[in-house]
Structure 1
């Protein structure tokens, strides 16, 4: 096992189940037509359907041993969007639980072709969209059920190393000039670097982070949600080159859209 995750892989199955139920409960409490601020153009209904569709897509990745061309994207006649999502998540959890996390399978990250990749990826997919739906369904000042710090720290690592460091190059996107930004949260530090020649992110020491063009700091949950575009810049503490921070933010939005 390459050990990309910062928590045990069993945790991701727990998170997938808990977050899926929280998402379903939130969706039941509000109109499916309510807009979702974290996903412009999405409603609660389309967000729930999206999670169900992505879960079905991952099942096809696992069963077909490669990138799927078709999968079930919508509820069948008579099935609600929440029912579609719940059944897809339950089937996906069962499939993931039936295999050891280190067992090899097809993924879109060459560095981690394992079932563990999908446990981690779908735990974070469901967590972020749970926050989306609860934010849309809840009065703005009412607190949301928390994300635990260990999952938030792992989520920071995933969005930086996978989405910034892998997906941007897959899309052929980078910065027009070399930029490096350090991210500090909890007891962990990362560097994200982009430029005409390379785009990558890695865990680093606090001392190595001092050489970055800019440094962003925040508690883990705030940083996790900020990196996914679910919080404002005011919730992180920036230092250093403001242009580097702006470039980093713009690249993240392209990577995670």
Structure 2
């Protein structure tokens, strides 16, 4: 997948949507205004640019205020991050929080997925129609959420997930084409989701991705089977994506 192309498209949409009233509340991040959202994305971009330059997590962080507005900071952050991406091959070394993948390619993927979710936040906040998510990007996003943010993280930082994992010994859900099982040891993922599970979450790739990130409610997807297991999964996802 060409992550840099989809990243640029969603960044430009984010800039376009947030050119108006930055005091609007973000319904999917209730503690934030649009101004806060823009500031957050700007600092995420600046952080990743610094990570690639240093091949290490920058300390201290965040940097001291510069007097730039959030919109100016977003523009600079994107420019600095993009320059680092263009200058480096995907397999080049870059520090990440995901131990199995310490490459620039990890951040290309993560920033493409981060940006599409936050431009949806901006669209919801500003009350404008939401642009569609390309199917390949949505499928890739589902894979990232399930394999990395949920399955890997549940075993890397089990304390964060213990309360919900303890409720699910032997639980299995089919989410789109992925088979998701969990017990007190953590979450496991298989891409052979034809097995019958306790429940099923289906729909278009875009709808499922939005549901996983809590950017769409249950009406966006088709839910079947044990509703209690679906709710357990939603709680696990809440921990994984917060």
User: Structure 2-normalised TM-score?
Assistant: 0.91
Residue correspondence of structure 1 range 51-130 to structure 2 within 5 A: 51-72=41-62, 76-77=66-67, 79-130=68-119
Deviations 1:225-249 (A, max 9, x none): 1100000012111122111110000
Q: Which residue of 1 aligns with 2:3?
A: 12
Q: Which residue of 1 aligns with 2:15?
A: 24
Could you tell me how far 1:75 is from its partner in structure 2? 5.4
Contact kept? 1:75, 1:81, Cα under 8 Å: no
Contact kept? 2:45, 2:78, Cα under 8 Å: yes
Could you tell me how far 1:83 is from its partner in structure 2? 1.2
**In the alignment, does 2:227 pair up with 1:242?**
yes
Contact kept? 2:174, 2:193, Cα under 8 Å: no
Aligned-residue RMSD, C-alpha: 1.7
Q: Which residue of 2 aligns with 1:224?
A: 209
Distance 2:88 2:192 in 1: 31
The alignment partner of 2:18 has SS state of helix
Contact kept? 2:173, 2:180, Cα under 8 Å: yes
Aligned length: 236
The alignment partner of 2:53 has SS state of helix
Q: Which runs of 4+ in 1 moved over 6 A?
A: none
Deviations 1:166-223 (A, max 9, x none): 2233332141132221111xxxx112222112223232252xx32x221110101111
**In the alignment, does 2:192 pair up with 1:204?**
yes
The alignment partner of 1:110 has SS state of coil
Q: Which residue of 2 aligns with 1:50?
A: 40
Deviations 1:147-176 (A, max 9, x none): 111111111111111111122333321411
Could you tell me how far 1:128 is from its partner in structure 2? 0.5
Contact kept? 1:168, 1:199, Cα under 8 Å: yes
**In the alignment, does 2:153 pair up with 1:153?**
no
Could you tell me how far 1:135 is from its partner in structure 2? 1.2
Distance 1:118 1:22 in 2: 20
Contact kept? 2:181, 2:187, Cα under 8 Å: yes
Deviations 1:102-142 (A, max 9, x none): 22321111222211110000011011000101111125xxx
Which stretches in structure 2 are left out of the alignment for 5+ residues? none
Match 1:190 to one of 178, 186, 190 = 178
